[in-house]
Structure 1
Amino acid sequence: MGLLNDAYDTLRVRQDEDICFVTLHRPQAGNAISDGLIAELAAVLRACEGVAKVVVLEGLPDVFCSGADFNEIQARFEDGRPSREQDPEPLYDVWQRLACGPYITIAHVRGRANAGGIGFVAACDIVLAQSEATFSLSELLFGLMPACVLPFLVRRIGFAKANYMTLTTQPISAAQALQWGLVDACEDNSENLLRKHLLRLRRLGMTGIARYKRYAVGLDDGLAAAKPKALKANIAVFSDPDNLQRIARYARTGRFPWEAD
């Protein structure tokens, strides 16, 4: 599969016939989203087109994805690099590829999915979760907002529930996520749950999957329509010096904005 045979710094990729397993692998950073992870995942998803009919996206046992890499943002801010280097479009494009690509995408969630991690979850066609998984949007704690996540999350669970997650910043359980439709199936043994789904999905043909995905995407152009507003809002909050100061302080000290020095 071309690029699927390459070595990656932030991912672990393996191929099982026409199924591609992609594991986010930044254990020292809580599986945070770095520029490198975005670039590598985009390359893998492009390489899967026409050769994979299912893409399984996984995290680590204790954390699926913790969101933006605050250490990377801190370094840019404290080095005085321009905020425009924080470009949200490549990540939005990765999520759009997960949602619209010519393959079935499965998010297999164990542990914690937070902030931008919810974007990966909401973008996938099927979401399978371990019973102990949790889901949260913490952005407003730092004056941010899940601007690019929301088009994907609203598409999956509706505005009211996405709004509730955004405003409360509190994690919800896998059982609650299942009830709300963010998760499609949940078991204590999520590995077995994934295996059962793949046994069925292996029977589908690649051409039929690609044709269906094109049709389904054509029924709803909401992700493409929302993109300019989402990027603009994301750039605004990540260009705010006060927000960047809060992020840098948290990355440096572990203290939240309301906690004293």
Structure 2
Amino acid sequence: MTFETLTAETRDGICTVTMTREHSGNVLSAALLAELDHVVARAEAADGPSVLVLTGGARVFCAGGDFQALAEGDGILDPAPLYALWQRLATGPFVSVAVTRGRVNAGGVGLAAACDIVLAESGASFALSELLFGLYPACVLPFLIRRVGEQRAHYLTLSTQPVGAETALSWGLVDAIEDPVESLLRKHLLRLKRLSKPAIAAYKQYRAHLSPSLDAARPAALAANRAMFDDPGLRAGIRRYVTEGTFPWEG
């Protein structure tokens, strides 16, 4: 299948997905979500790949939500498909691996945190910038808290500052660092590709049973996200940032 926002190649039970809109930050557009949904559905099939590798560009993995789409129209993306996609990465019958280089921001942090394994180059950075725009990372937090705990997720939300790969490693957001990250990925795949898909599926189903937080948090996360983007003033501030390059607090 030909995609517009990504490439996908499957070999030896490993599907490597590369987001290809680095010039626009690999933002979580409707098109990208639809294409990721297709790829994940294939990995969920019994005869699908047992490992799903998700990567972006050298300068940005994923910059978060699609502010441009918001600025160009009144339509607001329903957060339910995004949350469902992340939950499928976290609980699906395959190993999901995020390979991060450069900037990982806002929803990009959620995308990485949803994956089973997060690998990074030393230059990767991770930030939650939402509060700068009057938002907060409602859908990101359930996935991030599972990895780093409540206080560190709270700090990332309030500070809005990026943290480097080494800090992310010490917090548990990143599992391993190496330059170049492709070498690190190859080392992991040597063992991951030997795991049977039924065993992966059984283990991840059991893990989801042990930690049902994602299911429990979903209604509140979706309601909070919808309430934020229903605010006309908030949407106007985002449009102003996109069209004029000024932040909401700037005169």
TM range (shorter): over 0.9
Structure 1 distance, partners of 2:2, 2:12, is 19
Moved more, 140-149 or 207-216: 207-216
Query: Which whole-Å CA distance do the structure 2 matches of 1:31 and 1:188 have between them?
Result: 22
Distance 1:221 1:37 in 2: 27
> Post-superposition shift, 1:203?
1.6
The one of 153, 170, 185 aligned to 1:179? 170
The 8 Å contact of residues 7 and 18 in structure 2, kept in 1 or not, is answered as yes
TM-score, normalising length: structure 2: 0.97
Aligned equivalent of 1:251, options 221, 226, 242: 242
Specify the code of the residue in structure 2 equivalent to 1:55: L
* Alignment match, 2:103: 112
Hey, which bits of structure 1, 4+ residues long, moved more than 6 A? none
Q: Which amino acid aligns with 1:205?
A: S
One of 5, 8, 26 as aligned partner of 1:10: 5
Could you say which residue in structure 2 is the equivalent of 1:165? 156
One of 38, 43, 50 as aligned partner of 2:38: 43
1:70 maps to 67
The aligned length equals: 249
Match of 1:59 in 2: 56
Alpha-carbon separation, structure 2, partners of 1:17 and 1:200: 12
Contact 2:22 2:59 in 1 (8 A): no
Using the alignment, how far apart are the partners of 1:249 and 1:158 within structure 2? Answer: 34
The question of whether the paired residues in 2 share the 8 Å contact of 1:102 and 1:213 is answered with yes
Q: 2:227 aligns with which of 208, 220, 236?
A: 236
1:208 aligned residue: 199
Q: Deviations over 1:144-164 (max 9, x none)?
A: 010000000001110000000
The separation in 2 between residues aligned to 1:7 and 1:105, in whole angstroms, is: 22
Higher mean Cα deviation, 119-128 or 250-259?
250-259
Which residue number corresponds to residue 31 of structure 1? 26
2: CA distance between counterparts of 1:44 and 1:200? 22
Q: Distance in 2 between matches of 1:206 and 1:96?
A: 18
- Shift in Å, 1:258: 2.2
Instruction: Indicate conservation of the 8 Å contact 1:154/1:162, yes or no.
Output: yes
- State the alpha-carbon separation in 2 of the partners of residues 27 and 194 from structure 1: 21
Distance 1:86 1:103 in 2: 27
2:132 counterpart residue number: 141
Which amino acid is the alignment partner of residue 3 of structure 2?
Y
SS at match of 2:64: coil
Which amino acid in 1 is paired with 2:227? A
Instruction: Indicate the larger mover: 251-260 or 221-230.
Output: 251-260
Given that residues 12 and 193 in structure 2 are in contact (C-alpha distance below 8 angstroms), is that contact kept between their aligned partners in structure 1?
Answer: no
Distance 1:56 1:218 in 2: 24
After TM superposition, the score normalised by the length of structure 1 is: 0.93
User: Over aligned residues, Cα RMSD in angstroms?
Assistant: 0.9
C-alpha distance in 1 between matches for 2:178 and 2:203: 28
User: 2 CA distance for matches of 1:48 and 1:74?
Assistant: 34
